[in-house]
Amino acid sequence: MNTRPPQGECGMYLDVKGITKSYRDNTVLDKLDFSVLKGELVSLLGPSGCGKTTLLRMVAGLVSADSGTIRLAEREVTTLPAHRRNVSVVFQNYALFPHLNVRENVGFGLSARGMTKAQQKVPVEEALALVRMEQYADRPISALSGGQQQRVAVARALVVAPDLLLLDEPFSALDRKLRETMQVELKALLRSRGITAVFVTHDQEEALAVSDRIAVMNAGRIEQYGGPMDLYSKPATSFVLDFVGMSMRLAGTVKSAEGRLLRISTAYGDITAPGNFIAGARVLVGVRPELISPGLPQGSPEATNRVTATLSDVMCLGAKTLIYGAASGDDCLVCEESGAYAIGLPSAGSPVTFGWRVEDTLVYPAEHRQ
Amino acid sequence: MSHAAAKTASPAGRTRDPFLLLAVPSLLLLGMLFALPIAFLLLKSFRDADGALSVAGYIAFFSDPYMLTALRRTIVIAFETTLLTLVLGYPTAFALARARGFVQTCILIAMILPLSVGVIVKAFAWSIVFRSDGVINKTLLGLGIIDEPLRLLFTETALVIGAANIFLPFMVLPIYAVIRQINPNLGPAAATLGAGPFFRFFRVTLPLTLPGVVAGAAFVFSMAVSMYVIPNLIVGERSQMLSMLIARSFLYLRDEQMGSTMSAVLLVIAAMIVIASSIILKRLSGRQA
Ligand SMILES: Nc1ncnc2c1ncn2[C@@H]1O[C@H](COP(=O)(O)OP(=O)(O)OP(=O)(O)O)[C@@H](O)[C@H]1O
Ligand SMILES: [Mg+2]
């Protein structure tokens, strides 16, 4: 995966600092910092209502900030109106102009910049070719499918050579198959043209698929910002652990802390984990399911954790198989095996042991859980 | 009228929508109380006092300068009324669409409630406002804008203002209905593409609201061109509109041919406006279909 290391402060192309936004007493964005490098594809990932669209509209100049600053391409743009920012937006429902045909829609931004129909011809044709919609140029918008409308919206946004492209859940109206195709296509297109783009999504797979970096948002703040692998293997908070990918989750209490190693008691037995907590602290233990094996893992007993439970379900998902143990409360006992792993597995109701390495165990303060 | 019977194929080979039958009762009512009498009226305009066929009524109408003046005045007043309701109603429709909750309810009530107050009541109320010692004159005098009271009552200006007041909801509501259909992200989309407020208005807002404007204008114009009570109460005999001349012909002069002829002229004007507007509406929606 192409993960570019974040550069120093001065390298920021889009730099959002200390942004706060409230509606009445509802704080939607809370002293939020966010930055994007030139040419980067970034996703804003978060649950519904966490403020993704608000942040996006603020960067586009459609919503004003209560406090904080926004810089784009070496310009301070915090109070600049949308039409002077040169930031294109692909809206969730595409927001194509129903009274204009495909060509006129794509040419709209050029008209707004004072170009005549004749001057627009070449760039509009190019933009339509880019999204492979040349043959639909004279169609009315209502005669297009969802995927075609999406392409027109992308062409319309790109033809004006924006400094920044913002996309608000651009694939959410498409069916799964088309969505995957469009994700691959759009990513390749933006890469080839060196466009800096921010995607808003609440679909973690989409975020992992299209972006160099992902900012995980929760309740008006960014919980973690990093490459897809960082986010997945080193979730900074239990929210990120939960929101990005699956995990085994166990509530527990720290029994003792010896140096960097904790002894934690859970409903399924004691486990060992690295971390900095005092004895008595209530914690949440998380492990990625593919790091867990059913039965006894290889390695020395001191370096492994194991808990035993009753096998409750086996789900074969084609490329992988999920094995669930019966768990109480908010706990979730699950491990993942690659391939169709059904052979030689004990049937539901029989005991199963989940084993994983101590170093793969993640520990978070319990009150962080939502 | 069974459902199955309604689903017979028309000559064009397409199946008729059985839901069209729902319009039958109102069409019957309109046919009996509107189309038939109007047809009789039209026929009458082509008959002289002895019942013989003649176009004398039309010749008399179009060669009488007094009639032509009244015709022109009628059209001009209807046009001015339409223009005034448009100028006042267009922004109002936006305010109505933009407002939420209590404010929106207030504007809607302000629009609809006056419809339930009879025209006569309103017209008498205006005469209080428009009188030489009425509110308007007193205010203007008090502010020192004028030195002597303006003559407002019995003027065509007062008529246009009064008529616009009455017909305003018929302009606001169709425009409001259209605005509500517009995707609220279109304005922001245009802005992010570099369009300033003027460009956005003329290239996005105006074309998209035009169907509402055309419908509202057709409503208001066809009602204003044939209004009778309002001009009677506001301007009286001083400047006659066609509708008043029609009433005079039938009621006082007993000249049925002239009355029918004027009615026919008025009807043709209104019909032309309605047909023209529906053609324009079809064109507009054709572009979007
Ligand atoms: N104009 C507004 N007035 C009042 N509250 C608003 C307004 N716009 C957004 N909000 C509130 O701000 C919060 C964040 O909204 P936002 O649209 O940014 O969420 P989101 O992360 O994009 O969610 P989703 O994934 O559902 O699109 C929500 O609680 C919403 O109710
Ligand atoms: Mg949103």
- pLDDT tens per residue across span A119-173: 999 999 999 998 889 999 999 999 998 889 999 999 999 999 999 999 998 888 7
Across chain A, mean pLDDT equals 87
> Higher confidence at residue A303 or residue A58?
A58
pLDDT tier at B185 (50, 70, 90 boundaries)? Answer: very high
% of residues, chain B, pLDDT over 70: 93
Q: What does the pLDDT average to over A167-184?
A: 86
Two structure tokens written together for A129: 């070719």
Q: Which long-range contacts (CB under 8 A, 24 or more apart) does A342-350 make?
A: A342/A314, A342/A316, A345/A294, A345/A311, A345/A314, A346/A311, A347/A311, A348/A311, A348/A312, A348/A313, A348/A314, A349/A310, A349/A311, A350/A310, A350/A311
Q: Is the pLDDT of residue A15 over 60?
A: yes
The Cα–Cα gap between B136 and B134 comes to: 6
Closest chain A C-alpha to B232 CA, distance in angstroms? 43
- My answer on whether B93 and B38 are in the same domain is no
Residues 112-141 of A with CB under 8 A from B: 112-113, 140-141
Are residues A259 and A71 in contact, defined by beta-carbon separation less than 8 angstroms? no
- My answer on whether B132 and B113 are in the same domain is yes
Among A53-57, B122-126, B184-188, the least confident range: B122-126
Q: Is residue B10 in a domain?
A: no
Q: Is the pLDDT of residue A281 over 60?
A: yes
- My answer on whether B68 and B138 are in the same domain is yes
What is the pLDDT at residue A58?
95
The rounded Å distance from CA A23 to ligand 2 centre is 15
- My answer on whether B42 and B163 are in the same domain is no
The Cα–Cα gap between B223 and B215 comes to: 12
* B46, amino acid identity: F
Two structure tokens written together for B273: 């406006």
> Higher confidence at residue B144 or residue B194?
B194
What is the pLDDT at residue A7?
44
Interchain CB distance below 8 Å, B185 and A112 = no
pLDDT tier at B9 (50, 70, 90 boundaries)? Answer: very low
Q: Is residue B4 in a domain?
A: no
Question: A93: Cβ below 6 Å to ligand 1?
Answer: no
Taking only the tens place, the pLDDT of each residue in A220-258 is 999 999 998 889 989 999 999 988 888 999 999 998 888
Q: Is residue B130 in a domain?
A: yes
Q: Is the pLDDT of residue B12 over 60?
A: no
Near ion ligand 2, which residues have CB within 5 Å?
A 53
Taking only the tens place, the pLDDT of each residue in B85-135 is 999 999 999 999 888 889 889 888 888 887 788 778 887 787 788 777 888
- My answer on whether B99 and B177 are in the same domain is yes
The rounded Å distance from CA B93 to ligand 1 centre is 26
Of B5, B37, B54, the one marking the end of a domain is B54
Q: What does the pLDDT average to over B165-187?
A: 92
- Which of A155, A183, A190 has its CA nearest to residue A169? A183
Structural domains in chain A, sorted by start: 12-242 (3.40.50.300), 246-368 (2.40.50.140)
pLDDT tier at A78 (50, 70, 90 boundaries)? Answer: very high
- My answer on whether B74 and B48 are in the same domain is no
What is the pLDDT at residue A74?
86
Q: Is residue B255 in a domain?
A: yes
Residue B195 in contact with partner chain A when CB distance is under 8 A: yes
Chain B residues lying within 8 Å of A95, measured CB to CB: 183, 185-186, 188-189
Question: A36: Cβ below 6 Å to ligand 1?
Answer: no
- My answer on whether B135 and B250 are in the same domain is yes
Look at chain B and report how many structural domains it folds into: 2
Interchain CB distance below 8 Å, B191 and A86 = no
Interchain CB distance below 8 Å, A91 and B288 = no
> Higher confidence at residue A350 or residue A57?
A57
Residue B208 in contact with partner chain A when CB distance is under 8 A: yes
Interface TM-score (ipTM) > 0.85: no
Q: Is the pLDDT of residue B288 over 70?
A: no
- My answer on whether B85 and B190 are in the same domain is yes
Across chain B, mean pLDDT equals 84
Question: A48: Cβ below 6 Å to ligand 1?
Answer: yes
The dihedral formed by the CA atoms of B194, B197, B198 and B204, expressed in degrees to the nearest 10: 80
Residue B35 in contact with partner chain A when CB distance is under 8 A: no
What is the pLDDT at residue A113?
93
- My answer on whether B97 and B178 are in the same domain is yes
Most A CBs within 10 Å, among B193, B281, B283, to test the A interface = B193
Domain that holds residue B95: 55-288
The Cα–Cα gap between B79 and B85 comes to: 10
The Cα–Cα gap between B198 and A166 comes to: 24
> For residue B200, what is the nearest residue in chain A, using CA coordinates?
A112
Chain A residues lying within 8 Å of B188, measured CB to CB: 57, 60, 62, 82, 89, 91, 95
Q: Is the pLDDT of residue B11 over 60?
A: no
Are residues A137 and A101 in contact, defined by beta-carbon separation less than 8 angstroms? yes
Q: Is residue B199 in a domain?
A: yes
- My answer on whether B49 and B160 are in the same domain is no
Ligand 1 atom at minimal distance to the Cα of residue A54 = 18
Are residues A213 and A5 in contact, defined by beta-carbon separation less than 8 angstroms? no
Are residues A218 and A32 in contact, defined by beta-carbon separation less than 8 angstroms? no
Residue B185 in contact with partner chain A when CB distance is under 8 A: yes
> Higher confidence at residue A166 or residue A352?
A166
Question: A298: Cβ below 6 Å to ligand 1?
Answer: no
Residue at token pair 């029994």: A255
Residue A57 in contact with partner chain B when CB distance is under 8 A: yes
Residue A89 in contact with partner chain B when CB distance is under 8 A: yes
Question: A28: Cβ below 6 Å to ligand 1?
Answer: yes
Residue at token pair 């920021």: A12
Neighbours of A352 (CB within 10 A): 23
Q: Is residue B43 in a domain?
A: yes
Q: Is residue B136 in a domain?
A: yes
**CATH number of the domain enclosing B265:** 1.10.3720.10
Taking only the tens place, the pLDDT of each residue in B219-268 is 999 999 988 888 888 787 777 888 888 888 888 887 788 888 888 899 89
What is the pLDDT at residue B4?
42
Q: Which long-range contacts (CB under 8 A, 24 or more apart) does B107-116 make?
A: B111/B168, B111/B169, B111/B172, B111/B173, B112/B169, B114/B165, B114/B166, B114/B169, B115/B169
- My answer on whether B111 and B245 are in the same domain is yes
Q: Is residue B164 in a domain?
A: yes
Q: Is the pLDDT of residue A367 over 70?
A: no
- My answer on whether B35 and B99 are in the same domain is no
Interchain CB distance below 8 Å, B192 and A93 = no
> Higher confidence at residue A346 or residue A73?
A73
Among A214-223, A278-287, A301-310, the least confident range: A301-310
Most B CBs within 10 Å, among A77, A97, A144, to test the B interface = A97
Are residues A46 and A204 in contact, defined by beta-carbon separation less than 8 angstroms? no
Q: Is A91 exposed, middle or buried (0-12, 13-18, 19+ CB in 10 A)?
A: buried
The 3-class SS string of chain A reads CCCCCCCCHHHEEEEEEEEEEEECCEEEEEEEEEEEECCCEEEEECCCCCCHHHHHHHHHCCCCCCEEEEEECCEECCCCCHHHCCEEEECCCCCCCCCCEHHHHHHHHHHHCCCCHHHHHHHHHHHHHHCCCHHHCCCEHHHCCHHHHHHHHHHHHHCCCCCEEEEECCCCCCCHHHHHHHHHHHHHHHHHCCCCEEEEECCHHHHHHHCCEEEEEECCEEEEEECHHHHHHCCCCHHHHHHCCCCEEEEEEEEEEECCEEEEEECCEEEEEECCCCCCCEEEEEECHHHCEECCCCCCHHHEEEEEEEEEEEEECCCEEEEEECCCCCCEEEEEEECCCCCCCCCCCCEEEEEEEHHHCEEEEHHHCC
What is the pLDDT at residue A11?
67
